[in-house]
Amino acid sequence: MKKNHLKLIAAALFIGTSFAIQSCSSSDDDSIPTVSPVGIAQDPSNFKGDVPNGQVVTLDPSKVYKLTGAVMIKDGGKLIIPAGTRIEATGGTSSFITVEQGGQIFANGTQSAPVVFTSPAGAPGSWGGLVICGKAPINKGTTATAEVGNATYGGTNPTDNSGSLTYVRVEYAGAIYTADKEFNGLSLFGVGNGTKVENVAFVNGSDDGIEFFGGTVNVTNVVSVSNEDDAFDWTEGWNGTATNIFTKRRANGTGNRGIEADNNSNNHDASPRSNPTIKNATFIGGTSGEADGFKLRVGTYATIDNVVLSGWATGINIENDASVSYFNGGGKITNIKFDNVTTKASAKSNAGTSVTVLANTYTENASATGAGNGTSTPSWASGWSSL
């Protein structure tokens, strides 16, 4: 009886082992899916058009996609861009990517293989850039229409999710058509805080590097260098956080402010009021043009901490009564290091009259590290951002 029991046990073990081996083999085969290109991904030499509701378009990182016109990711559509994918805009400023409300983009770069949006023309303003439109609150109305792509943005959902941008570099984007119509490297219109924006770089653009039009989206590890207008811009009631920002004006002296911050130019007390938190940032500037490290105006609020301002004509410029009342003596700007800044702070009323900057408008800290390494490139930005 004992021998028979042993034989049965041995047989069971053999069968179990064989089953396990076959199961692992089958699982390994299943883990290598074959993805056939669909929709606008089918012709990489002519990448443009819509990603419609219900469609998921995944790009092939082994190919270079030529952006020849506008890509519109519609409500319910998804565009997935794997690590290492390169998209080259060849259609001028008619080439841009817009994520409409309810659409999603997933640019899944890595530190060693970022997703790169660029132009072979190699000049600022060569294409339109990235535009994301969400359903988070704005103060321009319940909803509004984006400057680029005529897409609707704004709403009542602060946690709206438009996808993710991770290790993404945007080069040579942006254009200024009129004072009210501008392309940026990345334009975030009413984007919610369910959207992930981390490790993003905006380089050699013709307008702002990144601009927030209301919304609640948070950003981390932002590089904005050599753009021809402002490095970092917000308006229309943005309420999010920005941690680790490194910006630098163009080497030839062109460009404008480190931060241009607005609430609403038509109603300085419009709600929701712009009131972001800015922490761990370096802004390297110049003395020509609009040479303010910060320009805080038309009713914006903010909390700002651990910042290095280097090379500016004016470090902190506060304008308009609502913003002056909030910042002047309010202690909302802390741990600032001024490096070669001509005038540390100035303030003006709505009428343009100079206002005395009160004590505790800002606090200084000569040991402030800013983005992490003072005026030098922070470790988190090395390589993937082109720095």
Q: Which amino acid makes up residue 229?
A: D
In-domain check, residue 371: yes
In-domain check, residue 136: yes
Distances (CA, A) of 224 to 200, 245, 339, 362: 9, 8, 19, 24
H or E stretch covering 363: strand 362-364
In-domain check, residue 324: yes
Domain count, the chain: 1
Nearest to 212 by CA among 249, 237, 177: 237
In-domain check, residue 86: yes
In-domain check, residue 177: yes
In-domain check, residue 17: no
CATH of the domain at 233: 2.160.20
CA torsion 329→333→335→336, rounded to 10°?
Answer: -100
pLDDT tens by residue, the chain, 387 residues? 333 443 333 333 333 433 333 333 333 334 434 557 899 999 999 999 999 999 999 999 999 999 999 999 999 999 999 999 999 999 999 999 999 999 999 999 999 999 999 999 999 999 999 999 999 999 999 999 997 778 999 999 999 999 999 999 999 999 766 666 778 999 999 999 999 999 999 999 999 999 999 999 999 999 999 999 999 999 999 999 999 999 999 877 778 999 999 999 999 999 999 999 999 999 999 999 899 999 999 999 999 999 999 999 999 999 999 999 999 999 999 999 999 999 999 999 999 999 999 999 999 999 999 999 999 999 999 999 999
Distances (CA, A) of 236 to 6, 194, 303, 380: 78, 19, 17, 30
pTM over 0.85: yes
Contacts of 188 by beta carbon, 8 Å cutoff, 6+ apart: 132, 134, 197, 210, 211, 212, 213, 215, 217
In-domain check, residue 137: yes
In-domain check, residue 232: yes
- Is-contact 324 295, C-beta < 8 A? no
